[in-house]
């Protein structure tokens, strides 16, 4: 019976219904503010220490998302050190909350902040460690700036491009 009814509908109507259905399915997955970060990024930067000169580093960042959550992993290596930051962030409006850990120094804690207009600014705390992390992004480029108190590392600044 359905085949008989479909036979009575003009072909252009069936094409239009198919196109509209496709647009509806694509629109059903609403874009999240994290979408611009998703994927793999890499690039050079600088790490500054408390009692020694700064040195060059090379970093890779991985971002994946599920609904309003962002998983991040940022790995950096210098000639004398390595940093591995992992986090899980949740977004509600312009507010961000979540958890983070730095595996090389074995510290972890909470992250809170805001996200707007291609910029994520986080305050990170945990134990004797505190700091801030800013990710500014647009197109295929992002700048990650981390300022730290409570560890021998004072700051990390990296410019990453989409890999």
Q: What is the pLDDT of residues 44-78, one digit of tens each?
A: 999 999 988 899 999 999 999 877 899 999 999 99
Q: Specify the pLDDT at position 10.
A: 55
Please give the model's pTM, rounded to 2 decimal places.
0.78
**Residue 127 burial (CB < 10 Å; 0-12/13-18/19+)?**
exposed
DSSP 8-class letter at 3: H
Residue range 86-128, pLDDT digits in tens:
999 999 999 999 999 988 888 899 999 999 989 999 999 998 8
């Amino acid at each position: 019976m359905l085949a008989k009814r479909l036979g009575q509908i003009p072909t252009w109507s069936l094409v239009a219904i198919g196109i509209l259905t496709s647009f509806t399915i694509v629109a059903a997955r609403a874009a999240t503010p994290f979408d611009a970060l998703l994927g793999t990024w890499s690039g050079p930067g600088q790490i500054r220490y408390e009692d020694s000169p700064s040195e060059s580093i090379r970093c890779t960042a991985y971002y994946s998302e599920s609904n309003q959550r962002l998983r991040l992993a940022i790995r950096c290596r210098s000639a004398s050190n390595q940093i591995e930051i992992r986090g899980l962030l949740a977004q509600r409006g312009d507010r961000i909350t979540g958890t983070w850990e730095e595996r090389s120094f074995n510290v972890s804690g909470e992250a809170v902040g805001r996200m707007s207009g291609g910029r994520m600014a986080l305050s990170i705390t945990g134990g004797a460690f505190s700091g801030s992390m800013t990710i500014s992004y647009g197109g295929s480029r992002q700048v990650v700036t981390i300022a730290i108190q409570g560890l021998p590392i004072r700051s990390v600044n990296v410019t990453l491009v989409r890999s």
